Each structure stands twice: as structure tokens, then as C-alpha cells.
Structure 1
Amino acid sequence: MRLLPAAALLIAAPALARDRAADVPPATPAGPPRNCLSLTSIDETLVRSDRVIDFRTIGRQTYRVTLPYRCPGLGTERRFGYATSIGQLCAQDLITVLYASGPMQGARCGLAPFQPVVLAR
């Protein structure tokens, strides 16, 4: 009897992974990647999945960061924090997943270069 619920969870897991991948709109590169973005130029961040974050700047340019590894909880919580003392967010910086349910912090994950993109509409 105990094996049935575990089997059901294994079957459901691939469907959840597909749903999260559907949250990542296709994007076409629009120039060479940048190592850093000025904090004052970032207008909005859109967490698309455990590996993809889109940063929109005040000038409406979108930069996509595809993390080198999956960042557990990022796609679910869609919130992260960071600390920097240079006024820029850079590819070598770490982000920390923030949980909406309380003060608990989640995984710390390294960023990657900021690729300017045009999102598919």
C-alpha cells in the first residue's frame, strides 16, 4: 500500500518540470553578454524558473541570466536577495532565495553573464 503514493509522486514530477519550463518565454540574443548591470538601471526582475531570471532595465532592455545550475526554490518562490558594495550586480555574485512564508532563507546560487535578449511575443 505504501508504494502506490510514492509511484504517483514519481509520475507527477515530470509534469511539474514541464509546467515550469513553459514559464520561460523564448528569447533571441541581441548582442554580446555583459558581466555586470548597474543596480540603478534595473527596473524589474522576472524569475522564470529555477535557472532563468530576466532583468528589465529602465530603458526597457531585457537581460536574461541562465544560471549555471538549478537554484532550488527559486522558480517556486520567485524572490531573491543579494548583497553588493559596488552598485552593480555581476555574473560572479550570489543570490539567495527568499521565502514568502517567513524569515527563512533558501539556496545561495551563483549568477551568470547578463545576455541581452528580445523576448518572443
Structure 2
Amino acid sequence: MRQLFVAVLLTAAAPALARDRADDVPPAKLAGPTRTCLSLASIEETLVRNDQVIDFRTTGRRLYRVALPQRCPGLGSERRFGYATSIGQLCAQDLITVLYVSGPTRGASCGLAPFQPVTLVR
């Protein structure tokens, strides 16, 4: 069987000069049960908060937070990552790879975690 692989680059809106600090993660409250996967078509924006937290904004302005099980070196400073999938979804068991602005160099590959719906506390 032939598999179709889709590679996608997600770039956060934050500048690459942003620092990887815990206070880059805005407080949030839980807004429902976790999800194992998100449809690629529903992901509108990613916000890399630091080496361990990524927020995914989806259609309908829904926000899902992923707290990686371990730090992903370089993610917080580069704020860019790529991934490959064959099913049209990004899932908790998938790997992301840090992409460097300075060229085609790839960084660490890190496992995702479940997607927790949240509402930012202002």
C-alpha cells in the first residue's frame, strides 16, 4: 500500500529573539477533555511558548495546549517546528522537529502529548 506523507512547517507569530522563559506561558484554565489528535485542516496558528509548551489555535478560535513530556531543546528560541504525518491529523504520539531560522539545519525531535483545550486567563 502506498502512503502519502505530508510535511508541514508551523511557525509561531513570536519573533525568534524571544527568550525561552516560563513566564512566556500565559496562564490558562481547562476548557474540556483532552484530545489525542487535531485535524491538520483545523489548525490555524501555533504559538510556541517555550521549550515545553505549544498552544494550537484552531478554527472557531478554540485553543489547545500541549505540554511536552520533556523539554525540546531549541524550540523556545527558534519558535518553529515541522512534522510529517500520513493521516491528516497531528496526534499525541507524533514527533515534531525543531527547525532553525539560520538555514536548513534541523534540531531536536520531540514527542508531543495530548491536546488540552484551554481558555487563556487575562
- Which whole-Å CA distance do the structure 1 matches of 2:21 and 2:95 have between them? 22
How many residues align? The count is 104
Residue number in structure 2 paired with 1:76:
77
- Which whole-Å CA distance do the structure 2 matches of 1:98 and 1:45 have between them? 14
Residue number in structure 1 paired with 2:21:
20
**1:107 corresponds to which letter in structure 2?**
A
- Which whole-Å CA distance do the structure 1 matches of 2:83 and 2:102 have between them? 19
Computing the radius of gyration from Cα coordinates, the structure with the larger value is 1
- Alpha-carbon deviation of 1:19? 6.4
**1:70 corresponds to which letter in structure 2?**
R
TM-score (structure 2 length as normaliser): 0.83
Higher relative contact order (Cα pairs below 8 Å, separated by 6+ residues): 2
Residue number in structure 2 paired with 1:10:
none
**1:102 corresponds to which letter in structure 2?**
G
TM-score (structure 1 length as normaliser): 0.84
- Deviating above 2 A after TM superposition, structure 1's stretches of 4 or more consecutive aligned residues are none
Structure 1 unpaired stretches of 5+: 1-17
- Alignment of 1:113 with 2:118, yes or no, is no
Q: 1:19 to 1:113 in 2, by over 3 A?
A: closer
- Alignment of 1:53 with 2:54, yes or no, is yes
Q: 1:83 to 1:116 in 2, by over 3 A?
A: same
Q: Residues 15-51 of structure 1: CA distance to partner in whole angstroms, max 9, x if unpaired?
A: xxx9611110001010110000000000000000000
Q: Residues 57-110 of structure 1: CA distance to partner in whole angstroms, max 9, x if unpaired?
A: 011000000000000000000000000010000000000000000000000000
- Which whole-Å CA distance do the structure 2 matches of 1:42 and 1:51 have between them? 19
SS, match of residue 96 in structure 2: strand
SS, match of residue 85 in structure 2: coil
Once the two structures are aligned, what percentage of the paired residues are identical?
A: 80
Aligned CA RMSD, in angstroms, stands at 1.2
Q: Which has the higher helix share?
A: 1
- Which whole-Å CA distance do the structure 1 matches of 2:33 and 2:116 have between them? 7
SS, match of residue 83 in structure 1: strand
- Which whole-Å CA distance do the structure 2 matches of 1:87 and 1:26 have between them? 30
